[in-house]
Amino acid sequence: MQCMASAMTAGAAATGTRAYVAARRPSWLSPLMLKRLTACLLVAGVLGAGLAASHQPADADQAPTPAGQHR
């Protein structure tokens, strides 16, 4: 359950940041730069959600596995 909450938080943060910057319309923000910023924010959101989900225990009774070890 926590991994879904982390994924939704990362997606919402990326979307909210993009909306905030688009609404402010700084002088350096051209349509091309907004597209690039959107792509970067989406990538950051997906990576953030993946990293957050990978560090969550699969079950509440299980401890997380150290990196590089398999169960």
Cβ atoms of 9 and 53 within 8 Å: the answer is: no
Nearest to 12 by CA among 50, 42, 56, 54: 42
pTM flag (> 0.75):
no
pLDDT at 32: 93
| Cα torsion through 45, 51, 55, 58, rounded to 10 | 70
Residue type at 30?
Answer: S
Residue type at 34?
Answer: L
- Read off the pLDDT of residues 8-67 as tens digits, 9 standing for 90 and up: 777 788 888 888 988 998 888 898 998 998 888 888 878 877 776 666 555 555 666 676
Q: Give domain limits for the chain.
A: 2-54
